[in-house]
Amino acid sequence: MSAHHQSAGRGDPPAQDAKDQQLARFRAAPEHDALTTDQGVRVDDTDNALRAGTRGPTLLEDFHNREKLTHFDHERIPERVVHARGAGAYGYFEAYEPLTEYTCADFLAEAGRRTPVFVRFSTVQGPRGSADTVRDVRGFATKFYTREGNYDLVGNNMPVFFIQDAIKFPDFVHAVKMEPDNEMPTGGTAHDTFWDFASLQPETTHMLMWAMSDRAIPRSFRMMQGFGVHTFRFVTADGRGTFVKFHWKPKLGVHSQVWDEAQITAGRDPDYHRRDLWEAIESGEYPEWELGVQLVPEEDEFSFDFDLLDATKIIPEEQVPVRPIGRLVLDRNPQNFFAETEQVAFHTANVVPGIDFTNDPLLQGRNFSYLDTQLIRLGGPNFSQLPVNRPLADVNHNHRDGFGQQVIHPGTNYFPNSLGGGCPAHAGAGGGAGVFRHYAQRVDGEKIRVRSDSFQDHYSQAALFWNSMADWERRHIVEAFRFELGKVGSTQVRERMVGNLANVNAQLAEMVADGVGVAAPQPVSGVSTASSPALSQENLLGEGIRTRKVAVLAADGTDAGQVTAVRERLTAQGAIVEVLAAKDGSVRGSDGGGLDVDRALPTMASVLYDAVLVPDGKEAVAALAADPAAVRFVEEAYRHGKPIAVLGEGTRLLTEAKLPEEVVLGESAPDFGVLTGNGTTAPGDLADALATALGRHRFPRRPGLLN
């Protein structure tokens, strides 16, 4: 490959029709674009190895063959020990206003300042090839290529963590990953070792509530919140500190799948979230989040009933509001998954002037771990030279050599020096801005392996979470515990876990105990009754229905006019409408015209859509009613709480799907998101009703749901 190909990386335009361009270049100048060896020698044939006679042995002399196979043999690198499965994208961060009152961070210093970013979303437990929609925490890691160096905000989609001290991380990860003897399960936490550990480690309880909630089965990466988790520190130019917690809030609202749906999706499209992100960006629907901060003056450090340094606690938003400070837009897909998404190396200690750490023992451990893990994963100390990791800011130091060194460093390699003109010089000497100086925190104490007493309350905020949930969110949490503990073989572990839950809520513990066949634990007195409305997804719907997917079930005889009318109305609001029929191609509309089919029904499933519409048309509906895949499509959409709209004859499919009659044909149907139009209903009106229903995402109080 020629040099201009190899240098492709961050900052380059997206590959449009890269293959065509490459071919055109080759035709214009074959001497530059022909296949070569690593040494740049042009190769005549890469399909046949050099051999002695057409049927003879392959020759060792074939350097091209050996080089090709050797390079291939070394293609894999170790996957991340956690967060192995992920998807990434480029974009920018734009600050809303100068934050100089709190931080001297350059990328937050001016309204409208844009900073390029790379974001990688991930699951935690599963290996690289595992399914996207497992029940798990999602990583939300952002690399800001600021003018003063790279800043990494390596967060999750949940605001707390399982453990309080990083020294427990290897234990936690060993317990959560696939079991060591049989390497099961691939993705997810529903197995003995995880729950054994969790039940013995009560500090996990708050995080378990989040992990058993719908937050662990997001509808899309684009519809997740993100959190920095730890309390960090903003620092001003004159060295003043303010505690800060970071929040990402998605423009599209926070939405989830239901558990049954997530499991089906894992088979129908294991790449569901990866595809969703990729397709949204390809189609120009750039996902967007707002960055918000909770700011706590240093003098208020001890004014909470929890410790700010304890990563198993949130600061309820009602206590300290989240102040929006900028927005994140993802507008470009990577060109090469390995080079960019796989090789991106995040590190909590990648901070810039104006952002500093606190003594959170989880954060302190992470500040060691990420650099260390990159050394083994990326094979040496020069990974920051990889295009996706390279800062935009100038890099000057005396680090030299090592595996994969890309830079030809001239001159001296030590400090102080006179022979190299004293360069690179200490930036501190001039006392200028834009230099990282560690926050001067006074520290005094004995060397002890002891957790602070202020870290001991493991249940109040777990209860806070439970208390803040809507009825259906609680139902989902109970079902999730029942599923997970139901997969645990050890009765002792089940009992111990249920016993812990009694500290959160007696009803929760009873319902889980009942589901998993163990005795209900004794109720615990003094359980917290506080709540925080900001935690419920019922209050996080977001606005609009952009990129929500509506399936239209069609067959020969479908009322094509209706489809056009509905499609127009919904796509005007940003929804995606796809016509599905038994076969690809087109179907004959009831007016005799053709209706293009977007997807063949057997290649899709209701779980890949947010709503379903069955238009009128006697012949078409009869065909759909006779097609088990179509009937199942409607039934599944119903059981997963999705909006369903039927026009005229389409109603028949509801009956065929054996949906609860009192709901689908009763007066309350619209309250349950089942919309039926008769002969006089204008399709546009039905489309509007469907759009409103889509805006509510799901109808979790509908009877007959699968959770």
Residue ranges in contact with ligand HDE by CB under 6 A: 80-83, 86, 120, 122, 139, 141, 154-156, 161, 166, 169, 229, 311, 344, 346, 362, 365-366, 369-370, 373
CB of 258 to ligand HDE, least distance (A): 25
By C-beta, is 118 or 699 nearer to ligand HDE? 118
Count Cα atoms within 13 angstroms, Cβ side, for 46: 12
Ranges of beta strands (E only) in 79-159 are: 86-95, 114-123, 138-146, 149-156
Kindly state the smallest distance separating residue 47's Cβ from ligand HDE, in Å: 37
Contact 312, 160 (CB under 8 A): yes
Residue 328 Cβ, how far from ligand HDE at the closest point, in Å? 15
CA gap 681, 650 in Å, rounded: 13
- Please, which residue, 373 or 405, has the CB nearer to ligand HDE? 373
| Smallest distance from ligand HDE to CB 221, Å | 12
Q: CB nearer to ligand HDE: give 34 or 77.
A: 77
467 is catalytic: no
Residue 356 CA, chain-centre distance (Å), reads 25
C-alpha separations of 43 from 4, 19, 32, 55 in Å = 19, 20, 12, 22
Contact (CB, 8 A) for 483 and 464: no
Q: What is the 3-state secondary structure (H, E, C) of 225-259?
A: CEECCCCEEEECCCCCEEEEEEEEEECCCCCECCH
Element (H, E) at 669: none
| Residue whose CB is less far from ligand HDE, 153 or 511 | 153
366 is in an annotated binding site: yes
CB of 151 to ligand HDE, least distance (A): 14
Please state the closest distance from residue 198 (CB atom) to ligand HDE, in A: 16
Taking the complex as a whole, the smallest distance from the CB of residue 247 to ligand HDE amounts, in Å, to: 12
- CA-to-CA dists, residue 600 to 231, 596, 647, 654, angstroms: 50, 11, 22, 21
Which among 64, 65, 150, 156 is annotated as catalytic? 156
- Is the CB of 30 or the CB of 170 nearer to ligand HDE? 170
Give the integer Cα–Cα distance in Å for 544 and 537. 16
377 is in an annotated binding site: yes
Q: How far is CA 182 from CA 169, 177, 191, 427, in A?
A: 22, 11, 12, 54
Residue 116 · residue 92 · CB < 8 Å: yes
The answer to whether 215 is a known ligand-binding residue is no
225 contacts 248 by C-beta, under 8 angstroms: yes
Q: Report the C-alpha gap between 172 and 189 in whole angstroms.
A: 11
Residues 6+ apart with CB under 8 A from 563: 552, 554, 579, 589, 595, 615
229/674 with CB nearer ligand HDE: 229
Element (H, E) at 580: strand 576-581
Whether 247 is a known active-site residue: answer no
Residues 6+ apart with CB under 8 A from 69: none
**Complex with ligand HDE: residue 139 or 187, whichever CB lies closer:** 139
CB of 455 to ligand HDE, least distance (A): 14
Contact 613, 651 (CB under 8 A): no
Say what the alpha-carbon torsion angle 163, 469, 482, 175 is, to the nearest 10 degrees: -10
Tell the smallest beta-carbon distance from residue 691 to ligand HDE (Å).
34
User: Minimum Å distance from CB 293 to ligand HDE?
Assistant: 15
Peptide bond into 353 cis (omega under 30): no
Residue-level length of the chain? 707
Question: What single letter denotes the amino acid at residue 396?
Answer: N
To the question of whether residue 120 is assigned a binding role by annotation, the answer is yes
With beta carbons less than 8 A apart as the criterion, state whether 9 and 387 touch.
yes
Closest CB to ligand HDE among residues 136, 649? 136
Q: Which is nearer to ligand HDE, 232 or 672 (CB)?
A: 232
Return the residue matching tokens 């419920």. 536
The string of DSSP letters for 421-462 reads TTPSPPGGGGT-SS------------------GGG---SHHH
Catalytic option among 64, 65, 83, 150: 83
- B/e letters for 414-453, b = 16+ CB within 10 Å, e = fewer, are eeeeeebeeeeeeeeeeeeebeeeeeeeeeeeeeeeeeee
Q: How far is CA 239 from the centre of its chain?
A: 35
Q: Which is nearer to ligand HDE, 322 or 647 (CB)?
A: 322
What is d(CA 210, CA 481) in angstroms, rounded to the nearest whole number?
A: 11
Nearer to ligand HDE, 369 or 692 (CB): 369
Binding site membership for heme: which residues?
Answer: 80, 120, 169, 366, 370, 377
Binding site membership: which residues?
Answer: 80, 120, 169, 366, 370, 377
Please give the positions annotated as active site. 83, 156
